[in-house]
Structure 1
Amino acid sequence: MSSTDSPRPTHTVTAIVVAHDGARWLGDTLAALLRQTRPIDRAVGVDNGSRDGSAALLTGTLGRNAVLTLPRSTSFGQAVAEVLDRLGPAEENEWLWLLHDDCAPDDGALEALLKAADEDPGAAVFGPKLRDWLDRRLLLEVGVTVDLRGRRDTGIEPREFDQGQYGGARDVLSVSTAGMLVRRDVWEEVGGLDPFLPLFRDDLDLCWRIRSAGYRVRNVTQAVAWHAEAASRRRRRITVSGDHPRRLDRRNAMFVVMANLPSRSLPWALLRNLVGSLVSTLLFLLAKQPADALDELLALGSILRHPGRLVRARRLRAAGRRRGGAAAARLLTPPGAGYRRVADRFQSYLAGNGLVESAGRHHYAATPTQEDGEELLTDDVGATRRLFGSPGMALFLVLVAVTLVAERGLLGGSRLGGGALVPVVGGASDLWNLYVESYHQAGLGGDGWAPPYVAVLAGLSTVLFGKPWLAVTVLLLGCVPLAGLSAYTATRVMIPGRWTRVWLAASYALLPVATGAIAAGRLGTAVVFTLLPCYAALATRMLSADPRGARRAAWGLGLLLAVGTAFAPLVYPLMLVLGALAALAFPRRGLTSSVVIAFGVPVAVLLPWLVQVVSTPGLLLLEAGLHRPELVDAALPASSLLLLSPGGPGMPPLWVTGGLIAACLAALLMRRNRTIVAVGWGVALFGMLVAILVSRTPVTSLNADTRAPAWPGVPLAFAATGMLVVAALTANRIAELRRAGGLRRVVAAAVVAVAFSTPVLAAGMWISRGAGGPLDGDVRDVVPALAALNSGGGERTLLLSERDGGLAFTVLRGRTPLVGEADIPTPAGPRERVSVAAAGLASGRGGDDADVLASYGIRFVVIIPPVTEAISHALDSQPALARMSLSRAVGVWRLTQPVAVPPAPPGDPWHGRWLWAQAVLVLLVSVLAAPGSRGTDGQLRSEVPESGREPSVR
């Protein structure tokens, strides 16, 4: 007789129902137990010290002799063990059916489980498909696995409905004890539930040990049970342990994984839990969940403080481990699935911000593998297609392609610099040192505050592998695609229509302000240009009726405004004026406090440096980098400013932006949205007025004597933002004209064509001309190698150059200056004396000029192009100078007398204390600006349905 014809074994089923303050669910559970199509052979109830009538329900249904009463501190595993001790030896083919008081099985659940047991004699544990107790359509579990950090993985999306997508019986790592059917002999063989795990993850540990002993664990989707998850959802008081539930869950999760893993995987799991817990703690703090952060740390500490307990647990499990150990480990969540989940969450965030289209509901399906019939979690949805198929990401990629082609001459060089950008050298540690030191040896030395944008660049450089050149490349050369992405994302709540936002973002990203900032190396304008749409979005959110959202937006605006102010101080007064006007025009409850927060944060964070800037008002009009007269059009016509062209290198023809101006002017003819049109044009005119004033006001840069107007790029970016919002918000009227047909349809098509001409023409002109300008991707070192190699003792180098008929000088300390060093003020006295001495040497005057240079540690005098005969002859005539090199490109002289390098004065303790205070302020504001916790899925759902009563099983 074949094996398929052999009679099936006769099973004995002992049902054990454990109750603890579960009267609200227990009645339905017991009723469902008695309705089984395959009746149970015997039933035992256990009441763990309930105070709500659970014991009476058990006694009334099962009989007094079938109910045990145990203390409230008894765990589920201890309750089952007590029942088995009193029942005596196991019967042949006896099965234990474990039920929680909040788990009601379907009528045919036991029959389906036993049928699966008959079909797979190698399996020792079977579990039903679990659905939610309240919403009977929602799936909870079809088997459970974990990763190396113990993170529970059901393979089910939050609030996923059961539509039959998980069919049949399949191997899993674990099933819940809620409805678990387990062979009693196997239960006793592995020792049952671990007493060290009174609650949470005890089922995972049991199933893992059973699989390691060579048996199989199966989930049977034909069997269904409804589970309230009362303990994990905090629906009743937990008395089996004094630990907080989440802390207990995290501790048990890490303990179970590290106790059951094979030895070769243990070190990696320990490292991942250590690093992962620290990262999770930080993320919980940022998400304003300090209790969860504390639980994470205490759970990890509980494992690390008692290594002997883990060693004993591993020794016991190793004694019972047989051929199934490797098979159990293979059912852990594969790393790829974990990464895909992170990618899905990131995509959900992008979808929430309008960057990608919502993908709808999807799930991780279980698919069979080639080995042992095991099943792994795989993603059945093309996340990549959803991510890159949205208009926002498509626009970003197009702008990246346009940027790469236009900047072809700047990419791949050895050093980026030129124009307003100091050649980018050094590493992230150099920038950090520059920012934190209280006395700067660069140049002639000084104790002024380093500009805060140095800290921003240092932080970004640290993230980007310690490469400042990469950070500057991303911020400056990548400002066009970044600004487009920023504009598209920020206008999600303001501008209706995806394609309208695409036009707005493309037009904004390709404005002459952006291309001019890149060509001239204006890092400050590039950063502000990228952040400006975020300012508009956060300011709009501050005006909302949601007080919590408005307050978080205020903190976020304050933090980003501090960043923008650090790069270009002019952005602060511009935003301050607009913020004050908005507060007066749109009064809301609590708006005043939000405005105070938004504009108080930059002052608090940047205070010492901001005082340094305000003391020299002209610095408010400048930005990060060098202020060079040749980069600014001194006689910039008003027509250029009206067409949003700030002048200087990198400017397209004025007619490129004509389409944008025409579309904005057309908005004035619309009868609707007049308030919005007036506000937008008010911002535009305000920005243009400030741009005119900036372009007409000569200012003196720091550490220089030249006076020239500032570049009006930042105020023109404000003006463009107002005009673009006006045009975009009236785009719905254009759609109405198109639907009207006739002449109106022609007019609408013409307006759309004119509007779209701006980004198309701007991209075409930028590509054809390239991003060339003073900015160069392969700029040479400003300090000649001959001088740099001989400056080992910290000697300084004096650079001389002729500009506009005068003599300009710069003092360097043996190397090319770091980004930000040029913005550190030099004391007026030393600078004036060196200026007089340099002029004396260049004129051939002689005297004690060389002595002055030597007293400030200047050993080398270098002439940078153009090298004129008059200056070279004058330096040759000085007895205190010896020529080292002279060519058309550069000339180098060395002082023949001894040079004394001035020692650095002692550091200022107050400086260090403020830096720590600044770091704490930034961290605090970041936490306050971050989105708050919204709770777990179970906590967000209501306890009972709207009818006021829980549904019955049938």
Structure 2
Amino acid sequence: MSAPVVTAIVVAHDGARWLGETLQAVLRQSRPADRVVGADNGSRDGSAELLEHALGQGNVLRLPRSTGFGAAVSEVLGKLKAVPGEWIWLIHDDCAPDPHALRHLLMAAERDPAAAVLGPKLRDWLDRRLLLEVGVTVDRRGRRDTGLEPREYDQGQHDGDRDVLAVSTAGMLVRRDVWEEVGGVDHALALFRDDLDLCWRVRNAGHRVVNVRRAVAYHAEAAARRRRRITASGDHPRRLDRRNAMFVVMANLPFAAMLRALARNVAGSTFRVLLFLVAKQPANAWDEVAAVGSVVLHPGRMISARRRRRNGRKQGYPAVKRLLTPPGAGYRRLRDLVQGFLAGEGPVESAGRHHAVVAPPSEDDEVILDDSGFLRRFLSRPGVLLTLALTLVALAAERHVLGSLAGGPSLGGGALVPVVGDASDLWRFYLEGFHDSGLGSTAWAPPYVAVVAALSSLLLGKTWVAVAVLLLGSVPLAGASAYLATRKMVPAVSARIWLAATYALLPVATGAVAAGRLGTAVVFVLLPVYAGLGVQLLSAEPRRARRAGWGLGLLLAVGTAFAPLVYVLLAVLGVLAMIAFGRVRQLATALVVPPVLLYPWLRGFADHPGLLLLEAGLHRPELIDPALPPHSFLTFSPGGPGLPPFWITAGLIVTALAALLFRRQRMIVAIGWGIAVYGVLVAILVSRITVTPAAGGAAARAWPGIPLAFAATGLLVLVALTAHRLAELRAAGGLRRLCAVGVVALAFSTPVLGAAFWIADGTRGPLSGSTPDPVPAIAGAGSPEGLRTLLLRGHEFTVLHRRTPLLGEAELPVTQAAREQVARAAAGLVAGRGGADAATLAKLGIAYVAVSHPTAEMTKALDSQPQLVHLSLSETEGLWRLVEPPARVGPPADDPLRAPMLWAQAVLTLLALVLAAPGARTADPLVVAVA
């Protein structure tokens, strides 16, 4: 070591913009290299000429453009005779070493004879205080960690030599005999992760890898930062980096650890693909799939690589394991990432540069992992506090429903049918051509069933959890959506908090929860989002407006599936906006998407347009007030169970009336009051129209909750946008100050009184968490395929098939003739006229007659008929079986157009998802970090 021989190898590829400075730095070392040679990989920018001018033509090797870095070094070494005690100094064309870098590297090698690979501390090429690397490690998913915080400056905090898992090939000093012992850089890794693989094999061979902090080099990271075209591989850089990351980890881990890492990689990649799709980055999702597939689908390539690395792999793993990223660092990284995402920060990392702890776990790491600073900052955000407060209010108000859920979840009551089945049952119901429910139907299932099924699938198949989230969680969800959706419209945070809290606690929300109105609950959560996207559509630049149009159309389709009336409301406003503001193409997109996506279901409304006023669920007359007083419409109280007194929302009305006095914002006031008047007029009209449900039954009026929520939204945005005028009046002093304080107090009275009344009174409605099963146990167990049960409730009847109907099954249309036929037969049985009536029921496949809360008179009439056999009787139900064998009702021939229409529906939905955010957009920081 007294006189080591150093061969510096400079490899260039289209790096002329950096190569001149790099060559000067290499040739001006305080301890010069003994031999300096170069290799050019088919550069087209004059890099080869720069190398030959600086090093001499005989010292430069020209190679094909597809040659990788490791292959170029091997080609150069193949033409240079080895010298005893020789060291190889690898230099990228975009890496300029400090004048004393080589001297410090050699001094460290002399101090530690076991060190076979040494690397300098890397700083940024442009900002030369910024640290890039002080050694590199990975986790078991192949994620590359540098041990640095984002944009960390070098202040001596990382000085001192240190064992690391790997160092970059940019400035790497490696003993030539060790290079030849391990086989050099794997040529299969043309770019990215080749340094990690080389150093891992060096450590497995029993040598040390050291980062020398006094040696400094400045690196531009041209390939990782996409500053030049990459030709060594045909793959996209992102895909290549991810593939090589998995390849290196899988090839160098012992077998058992490799299997665990493989499962972790596949699971993590699946999650990242879903995340990319949600963030509307299909190109990144495809890169992830292709990268994982190139490793998993080529086991022969992996087996061959593991065979070449088998020497020392198992023996060296304990030392390597201590240098891998600690498991807790991944959770801390995700925490930091979510924090940056919530703060609205863009991505700060380029491909291949990820920051986490490099050192082995220590006692200090536990303190870092348990740091509650992020949680404290997260919980201090106004939107988070608002959502948590509304969640606590909802939990307190819904205590009776939640308490009954603990005894066995059976959520139902009011407009909500008892929630049974799981996600697979809902998907089967939505996709099947013939629905063997009630009297049987070939109609299309309501599309909201697919939405609930998709959410249930994400919640481990639990349908009741999905419905509980949408219905019982509608108040905090509506508050969160109102707060987030209005951040561009209402800049004042305090005004947005008031708007969101008041909106979430409107009587429409509490009434929808109490009556089990799932459709209104979902639309109530989406209405603020519609408003936010509509404003963006009208005010943003064309590309963002086009994206907003597709997003509004897609979400409007979801709302229409639950309550078609919301489409009618927004369609009228959309046409008026086209006339007033233009943006015809974007508005037309938003209005065309819902009918196109929901066409198979909506075509059934052509003969019965009144059904557009009804929402998802049952339509029971007792849930609707037959004649609402005028003050109910003026205070946004739609009638029915679970509503607060009308004066709860009086403060909102007074505040909105006060806004009429502001002359500077007359346009905002006019638009807000116009929307409010429009919504109230629609609510009055809806409450006066009588509609017969598609499944038959008694005619009922539609609930005016959605148009009243629509009207309230206009007033709330109006008040929030004029709130700063109240601050000006308050600052003026005198009578104006007193009036401003009074208006503010009235405004805040609505959410405060609404929350207090809801907590004190509870849900106060038919909704329950333990709804009894309407199908008698004997009928359900003894009814084979195709047999049905006629359930009588007073003068009403329902035909059930073996089980409680699923969501949406009770809304399937029934022909008037079939319903009248069953009604006559049921009336005949109750009246004691068996015979032909029992035969009629048997022909329809009905095998049992069940009676809910039977009276003595009805029991006597049914027992007196020889066509019925009495099976059981209690205070709550009675059950009889028909003597005549029921007919087996089979499904009719399936519609040949059904499958193509389902496929078209799926394709159109995916197309709308993609077009809602075309490729050219900034990557989401959460997605970038998880990737």
SS in 2 for 1:701: coil
- Residues 269/902 of structure 1: CA separation in 2 closer, same or farther (3 Å cut): same
SS class of match (1:901): coil
Task: Provide the C-alpha distance between the structure 1 equivalents of 2:924 and 2:754, rounded to a whole number of angstroms.
Answer: 48
Q: Which residue is equivalent to 1:44?
A: 37
Contact between 1:72 and 1:239, CA under 8 Å: does it hold in 2? yes
Give the corresponding residue for 1:585.
580
Contact (CA 8 Å) 1:667, 1:677: kept in 2 or not? yes
- Pair 1:573-2:568 in alignment: yes
Given that 1:365 and 1:377 are in contact with CA atoms closer than 8 Å, whether structure 2 keeps it comes out as no
Distance 1:165 1:619 in 2: 71
> How far is 1:745 from its partner?
3.2
Please report how far the alpha carbon of residue 164 of structure 1 lies from its aligned counterpart in structure 2 after TM superposition: 5.6
Q: What value does the CA root-mean-square deviation take over the aligned residues?
A: 2.9
**Superposition pairs of residues 366-445 of structure 1, within 5 angstroms:** 366=357, 368-369=359-360, 382-411=373-402, 412-414=406-408, 415-445=410-440
2:19 corresponds to: 26
**What's the TM-score, normalizing by structure 1?**
0.90
1:636 and 2:628 matched:
yes
Q: Per-residue deviation at 1:162?
A: 5.1
Please tell me whether residue 528 in structure 1 is matched to residue 516 in structure 2: no
Corresponding position of 2:482: 487
Instruction: Give how far 1:564 is off.
Output: 0.7
CA distance in 1: counterparts of 2:140 and 2:368, whole angstroms: 15
C-alpha distance in 1 between matches for 2:632 and 2:362: 71
Matches within 5 A, 1:433-832: 433-587=428-582, 591-802=583-794, 807-832=795-820
Partner residue, 1:912: 899
**Cα 1:226–1:429 shift into 2, 3 Å:** same
Report the 3-state secondary structure (helix = DSSP H, G, I; strand = E; otherwise coil) of the residue aligned with 1:254: helix
User: For 2:228, which of 236, 249, 253 is the aligned residue?
Assistant: 236
Partner-residue secondary structure (3-state), 2:792: strand
Report the Cα distance in structure 1 between the residues aligned to 2:70 and 2:322, rounded to whole angstroms: 27
SS in 1 for 2:879: strand
For 2:762 and 2:290, the matched residues in 1 are separated by 57
- Asked whether 1:57 is paired with 2:50, we answer yes
Structure-2 change in CA distance of 1:894 and 1:416 (3 Å): same
Contact 1:170 1:374 in 2 (8 A): no
Mapped to 2, the partners of 1:298 and 1:330 lie a distance apart of 31
* 3-state SS, counterpart of residue 223 of structure 2: coil
Listed as ranges, the gaps of 5+ residues in structure 1 are 1-7, 355-361, 939-954
State the one-letter code of the partner of 1:701: P
How far off its partner does 1:339 sit? 3.7
| Equivalent position amino acid for 1:644 in 2 | F
Contact 2:134-2:213 within 8 A present in 1 as well:
yes
- In the alignment, structure 2 segments of 5+ residues that lack a partner are 347-352, 926-931
Partner of 2:929: none
Secondary structure of 2:789's aligned partner: strand
Contact 1:213 1:322 in 2 (8 A): no
- Of 303, 308, 325, 1:311 maps to 303
Change (3 A) 1:327 1:346: same
> What displacement does 1:930 show?
4.0
Kindly state the Cα deviation for residue 88 of structure 1 after the two structures are TM-superposed: 2.6
Structure 1 segment 263-274 matched on structure 2, within 5 A: 263-274=255-266
CA distance in 2, matches of 1:56, 1:429: 67
Check conservation: 1:190, 1:320, Cα contact below 8 A. Answer: no
Distance 2:728 2:183 in 1: 74
After superposition, the C-alpha distances for 1:232-268 in whole angstroms (9 at most, x for unaligned) are: 3444344444444444333322221211111111222
Once the two structures are TM-superposed, the CA of residue 57 in structure 1 deviates from its matched residue by 2.4
CA contact (8 A) 1:172 1:375 kept: no
3-state SS in 2 of match to 1:18: strand
Counterparts of 1:251-262 in structure 2, within 5 Å, are 251-262=243-254
Query: How many residues matched?
Result: 915
The question of whether the paired residues in 2 share the 8 Å contact of 1:171 and 1:375 is answered with: no
2:105 paired residue number: 113
Letter in 2 for 1:825: P
Q: CA deviation at 1:200?
A: 2.3
The answer as to whether partners of 1:337 and 1:377 remain within 8 angstroms in 2 is: no
Name the CA shift for 1:505/1:305 in 2 (closer, same or farther; >3 Å): closer
Match of 1:945 in 2: none
Q: What is the letter of the counterpart of residue 71 of structure 2?
A: Q
Matches within 5 A, 1:853-932: 853-865=841-853, 867-930=854-917, 932=919
Cα distance in structure 1, aligned partners of 2:341 and 2:896: 43
Identical pairs, percent: 64
Which whole-Å deviations, capped at 9, do the CAs of 1:21-74 have from their partners, x for residues lacking one?
Answer: 322211111122233344434422233343433333223333445434444444
Residues 798, 861 of structure 1: 8 Å contact kept? yes
Q: Is 59-68 or 916-925 further displaced after alignment?
A: 59-68
CA positional deviation for 1:725: 0.3
- Residues of 1 paired with 2:24 and 2:291: CA distance? 39
Residues 720 and 218 (structure 1 numbering): CA distance in 2 closer, same or farther, change over 3 Å?
A: farther
Which residue number corresponds to residue 84 of structure 1? 77
1:392 CA displacement: 0.6
- The aligned amino acid for 2:768 is D
Query: How far apart are the structure 2 equivalents of 1:364 and 1:293?
Result: 22
Contact residue 439 and residue 905 of structure 1 kept, 8 A: yes
Distance 1:135 1:552, change over 3 A: farther
Instruction: Give the aligned residue type for 1:401.
Output: L
- Partner of 1:125, secondary structure, is strand
Return the offset for 1:419. 0.6
Q: How far apart are the structure 2 equivalents of 1:151 and 1:341?
A: 11
CA offsets 1:135-173 (integer angstroms, 9 cap, x no match)? 445443333233333333334566555566644443332
The amino acid of 2:880's aligned partner reads W
Q: Secondary structure at the match of 2:10?
A: strand
Q: CA deviation at 1:700?
A: 1.6
In structure 1, the residue corresponding to 2:487 is in which secondary structure? helix
Contact 2:253–2:313 (Cα < 8 Å) also in 1 = no
- Give the Cα separation in 1 of the matches to 2:786 and 2:340: 54
Checking the alignment, whether the CA contact within 8 Å between 1:367 and 1:377 is kept in structure 2 is no
Counterpart for residue 75 of structure 1: 68
In structure 1, what is the equivalent of residue 194 of structure 2? 202
* Contact 1:287–1:933 (8 Å) recurs in 2: no
Kindly report which structure 2 residues correspond to 1:155-170, keeping only aligned pairs within 5 A, or say none: 155-156=147-148, 166-170=158-162
Aligned to 1:15: 8
Cα pair distance change 1:903/1:69, threshold 3 Å: closer
Quote how far apart the aligned CAs of 1:902 are: 1.4
Query: In the TM superposition, what whole-angstrom CA distance separates every residue of 1:499-537 from its partner, at most 9, and x where no partner exists?
Result: 221111111111110110010000000000011111111
Whole-angstrom CA distance in 2 between matches of 1:419 and 1:683: 30
Determine helix, strand or coil for the equivalent of 1:319.
coil
Q: Partners of 2:93 and 2:923 in 1: how far apart?
A: 23
Distance 1:232 1:363, change over 3 A: closer
Deviation of the 1:210 alpha carbon? 1.3
Say yes or no: does 1:218 pair with 2:206.
no
SS in 1 for 2:727: helix
Query: 2:196 and 2:589 mapped to 1: Cα distance?
Result: 49
- Give the conservation status (yes or no) of the 8 Å contact 2:400–2:762: yes
Equivalent-residue separation in structure 2 for 1:106 and 1:901 (angstroms): 89
